[in-house]
Structure 1
Amino acid sequence: MARAVVIGAGIAGIATSIRLATAGYQVEVYEANDYPGGKLTQFEQDGFRFDAGPSLFTMPFLVDELFEEAGKNPTHYFNYEQLPVVCNYFYEDGTRLSAYAQPTAFAQEVEQKLGVPAKVLEKHLHNSAEIFEHTHQLFMEQSLHQAKNFLNLDVVKSIANMYKMHIFSTMHEVNQRKLKNPHLVQLFDRYATYNGSSPYKAPGILNIIPHLEHNMGAYLPQGGMHSITQSVYKLAIELGVQFRLGAKVDKIMVENKVAKGVMVQGREVLADVVVSNMDVVPTYRHLLKNEPAPEKALKQERSSSALIFYWGMGATFPELDVHNILFAQDYKAEFEHLFELKKIYPDPTVYINITSKREKNDAPANAENWFVMVNVPGNQGQDWDQWITETRQSVLDKTSRILGKDIGALIQTEAILDPRSIEQKTSSFQGSLYGSSSNNRYAAFLRHPNFSRKIKHLYFCGGSVHPGGGIPLCLLSAKIVSNIIKEKHGALVTTQ
């Protein structure tokens, strides 16, 4: 059997291990932390359970695929429900908007609350679906860095329709032109944050993102987001994948421009292929110190990071749902602070995730588990302790003002995650959540490929490489890299 070593047990690393194991590889996964999941983990504190990282779940079939490829029934391992309300939105002028899962109901809500004809929203969501239809195969499901992938008929058709994809306009320009209403424009501009970018810089093609949420649906796994990690980790173990937790890789061994394995705590581990689920920057800077690095890819502008307050709240809020956004008054100023000034906006947009709305065991009775996040710049040595104190007060002021309650007085327990700890726990360079940003129209092509151009048998998966960050794209990166490996090394594999 061919041997594969995967560096990092994030969701993409686990998914890659499953796909390679089902192809007959003997797989070992080395993880520096003593738990799997990377950012997709959890913790409990004073009777409250918190998902520590990603909170939105779309395209659940990508998780189901892993079980199906292994010949398993996904429902025996993993279940989820579609949320009836995608997100509740709150604006400083008192406007409140519920984005219902049914697009027609959402369109009627927009017409009633904002005075925008329902057909305007319906047309915008239809356009988002069209972008997905024309681009998903090329930009999401295969490598952008292999010439052969541009030669099949479907991709040729997609390229012929690129003029419809708004690649020469920014997301904001497209939304402003098509939606006009400031509140609705702000709502759709926010999808740039799903890959850590600015709607005033990111290309309009990223208006594909609303399709994933509004047309395809937002979901919540039973047991919370961490159950994604638990279920795929269990599957991988059943398939014979060996996980070495608390085992930090020190070096990728390279001989004559071929990856031969890894060095772990002074021990050599030989392998036919090596896959790094680690951020590409520390992969090259720390694990490949003696090899030339692809500097152009590594020096791309990084995505935003996050400052997260985990609050156990001693009250319930019927006006809130699982996902909630309290918008900044001046959105453009917020993104200028984030990407130009590299500062936190004094009155930032606040995202509140409350899984206890659906998972009652996540909080005590008459209480809620709040995951409260603001977008912040990456860690570059700023005075985070001061920034955290100031931002905490800004968030308390904003939530108290909009919800009409003294939020600070209701906090029963608290934990904090900032870019420093994100970087330390997950090796994400500067604490960026999505690798490089998409703040230019060529970003997708400049992102690091799923393979090394210089070192044979070395591959990459996860949020810092193609196709990008977030659970669905990380799962797709695992699919892409596994297919590439099977194409190049299939002759070595004894299929199970």
Structure 2
Amino acid sequence: MSSQKHVIVIGAGVGGLASALRLLAAGTRVTVLEAAAATGGKMRTVPSAAGPVDAGPTVLTMRWVFDDLFAAVGETLDDHVTLTQADTIARHFWSDGTTLDLCADSSQSCAKVQSTFGAKAAQEFAAFSERAERLFTAFDAPMMRAAQPSSMALAATVLRDPRLLAAMAPHKTLAQLLETSFTEPKLRQLFGRYATYVGGSPYLSPALLSLIWHAEGTGVWAVKGGMHRLCAAMSELIQTKGGTIHLNSPVHAITPTNTGLSVKTNADTFTPDAVVFNGDPRALGHGLLGDDICKNMPQSALEPRSLSANVMAFAAVPTRTDLSHHNVFFGDNPKDEFGPLAQGHDPTDPTLYVCAQDRGGGHVPNGAERFEIIMNAPPCTDAAQRNEQKATACQTQILNRLAQMGLTFSPMPTAADLTQPADFHAMFPASLGSLYGRSPHGMTAGLKRPTARTTTKGLYLAGGGAHPGAGVPMATLSAMHAVAAIKTDLGLI
């Protein structure tokens, strides 16, 4: 046991937990240090009268990523969490009374688009879906599953299939692609929303992000008990496999030594063989854990920042009976959402995502049920602090907009139920409240995120701020890259 390698994982978000599991499978001793009182990171909950409410990610896609993770430690995902694939991916509402369901069955989605918007719209939807699938399939290996993606590898992929160049629309934004893909403005608005999945605006994000639709279109799963149960299951499995998790243990410094790295908390100083940092890379780049750590990290890997959000999480009885698990209430003009956001202001006409957490699997509860409402917001500043006046104004804006579309709640959620960008900045230091790390704006943005290996020997990155990017599956894949690098560098292969 004296020769067993010891790895510290800083941060118990999904990227950190996935790293810990893979490291345990590689035969290392693992200690996870988490500043908060619970694991999960952004996959967090808040208490309510109906039980813990998810107040972070709510959509589980790309299930195979998690099947692979649990298989890597000799386990089966279904033995640890109960997943139900949703028949309805999301229900969409517009203020003129139009509604549209997108479904797990692509033929059903196409039929619903035709029923709502006509035969031409259905043909355009089918063509757009085929494009998204082609792009996802082509760039999964050289981009998402590659530890060090490169423009040369992407170019080689296109050279093997020149038709991809037209599908990528490299000189177009997502909004520009949608203008030529759909004659129906509502469908342009709907699929433009997918840029926000990685913290971007459709008017500034590359057309390549249209592939996100394929990731969701191939399946959305509900986790019994809420998304946080996935992180809870991972945490339990880490401890079952012999790992250690220390909660309420913020790391104050990482210091290079003659033999490696020193990691200091309030109570302990560790000298591990390697360190995985599962926090926002901007914290390292701005010296929060020491001036000698990642001092050569380029600012282009950290800036500009992605969107943040105003998030309400609460329990109440809704007035509308036609809610699905995932619901989108669209604003009337997307430019009134993304225009202000680009200027650093809250949107004047926001689109609101409403997760009815207890309706997973088609269940319709009696009485109070748990809700999460998300409104896009700009990132904040390093000096930002919670502003109660802004919280009240935001709460009023959200509830008034939903009331106009026939959705009210009893009891009515209050401003205390709202998490602001400044709150996220406090929870995730140096993040500026950005929930997705670096912005996805620009054609080469995906190549600028920091990768697993850092400029500090023995320090590796995992999480949504690192390659391959934001989102629960991507953060989980980042752990695969980090652990592969560690295994190579420590001679564990």
Q: How far apart in 1 are the matches of 2:274 and 2:458?
A: 5
Instruction: Show CA shifts across 1:291-340 (max 9, x none).
Output: 4242423551111111111232224532110111111111022111112x
Distance 1:253 1:159, change over 3 A: farther
Give matches, 1:142-157, under 5 Å.
142-144=146-148, 150=153, 157=160
| Residue matched to 1:17 | 20
Which one of 82, 85, 91 corresponds to residue 88 of structure 1? 91
Which one of 396, 400, 404 corresponds to residue 397 of structure 1? 400
Which one of 437, 441, 444 corresponds to residue 443 of structure 2? 441
1:234 has 2:236 as partner? yes
| Residue matched to 1:194 | 197
| Residue matched to 1:273 | 274
Distance 1:44 1:158, change over 3 A: farther
Deviation at 1:146, TM superposition (A): 7.3
- Report the residue type matching 1:336 in the other structure: G
Q: How far apart in 1 are the matches of 2:249 and 2:385?
A: 30
Which one of 230, 253, 256 corresponds to residue 255 of structure 2? 253
| Residue matched to 2:167 | 164
Unaligned runs of 5+ in 1: none
- Report the residue type matching 2:146 in the other structure: Q
Distance 1:261 1:196, change over 3 A: same
Contact 2:90 2:325 in 1 (8 A): yes
Q: How far apart in 1 are the matches of 2:323 and 2:216?
A: 18
Higher mean C-alpha deviation, range 420-429 or range 70-79: 420-429
Contact 2:336 2:349 in 1 (8 A): no
Distance 1:45 1:355, change over 3 A: same
Contact 1:315 1:410 in 2 (8 A): no
Contact 1:40 1:53 in 2 (8 A): yes
| Residue matched to 2:323 | 320
1:225 has 2:233 as partner? no
- Report the residue type matching 1:443 in the other structure: A
1:122 has 2:126 as partner? yes
Contact 1:30 1:245 in 2 (8 A): yes
1:60 has 2:52 as partner? no
Deviation at 1:388, TM superposition (A): 2.1
Unaligned runs of 5+ in 2: none
Q: Percent identity?
A: 27
| Residue matched to 2:40 | 37
Give matches, 1:282-293, under 5 Å.
282-284=283-285, 285-291=287-293, 292-293=295-296
Instruction: Show CA shifts across 1:208-262 (max 9, x none).
Output: 1000111x11111122101110111111111111111111111112136x74231
Distance 1:27 1:146, change over 3 A: farther
The 3-state SS of whatever aligns with 2:304 is coil
Instruction: Show CA shifts across 1:326-382 (max 9, x none).
Output: 11111022111112x211112211110011113799x97323222111000112238
CA RMSD of aligned residues (A): 2.5
Distance 1:364 1:184, change over 3 A: closer
The 3-state SS of whatever aligns with 1:6 is strand
Contact 2:5 2:28 in 1 (8 A): yes
Which one of 29, 51, 64 corresponds to residue 26 of structure 1? 29
- Report the residue type matching 1:264 in the other structure: T
The 3-state SS of whatever aligns with 2:138 is helix
Q: How far apart in 2 are the matches of 1:30 and 1:159?
A: 47
Deviation at 1:156, TM superposition (A): 6.9
Q: How far apart in 2 are the matches of 1:38 and 1:479?
A: 18
Deviation at 1:410, TM superposition (A): 4.3
TM superposition score normalised by structure 1:
0.91
The 3-state SS of whatever aligns with 1:252 is strand
| Residue matched to 1:351 | 353
Contact 2:58 2:355 in 1 (8 A): yes
| Residue matched to 1:140 | 144
The 3-state SS of whatever aligns with 1:358 is helix
Deviation at 1:159, TM superposition (A): 8.8
| Residue matched to 1:416 | 418
Contact 1:171 1:204 in 2 (8 A): yes
Higher mean C-alpha deviation, range 346-355 or range 64-73: 64-73
Deviation at 1:383, TM superposition (A): 7.5
- Report the residue type matching 1:343 in the other structure: H
Contact 1:179 1:185 in 2 (8 A): yes
Instruction: Show CA shifts across 1:41-84 (max 9, x none).
Output: 22332234311211111012212222211112322112201111
Instruction: Show CA shifts across 1:379-423 (max 9, x none).
Output: 2238843322222222112111112x5x25542776221112212
Deviation at 1:162, TM superposition (A): 4.3
Distance 1:325 1:151, change over 3 A: closer
Contact 1:311 1:411 in 2 (8 A): no
- Report the residue type matching 2:310 in the other structure: L
Contact 1:16 1:482 in 2 (8 A): yes
Contact 1:224 1:359 in 2 (8 A): no
Contact 1:276 1:283 in 2 (8 A): no
Contact 1:47 1:364 in 2 (8 A): no
| Residue matched to 1:305 | 308
Contact 1:189 1:199 in 2 (8 A): yes
1:483 has 2:487 as partner? no
Q: How far apart in 2 are the matches of 1:410 and 1:6?
A: 41
Q: How far apart in 1 are the matches of 2:165 and 2:430?
A: 32
The 3-state SS of whatever aligns with 1:456 is coil
Question: How many equivalent pairs are there?
Answer: 484
Contact 1:316 1:366 in 2 (8 A): no
TM superposition score normalised by structure 2:
0.92
- Report the residue type matching 2:352 in the other structure: V
Deviation at 1:135, TM superposition (A): 0.5
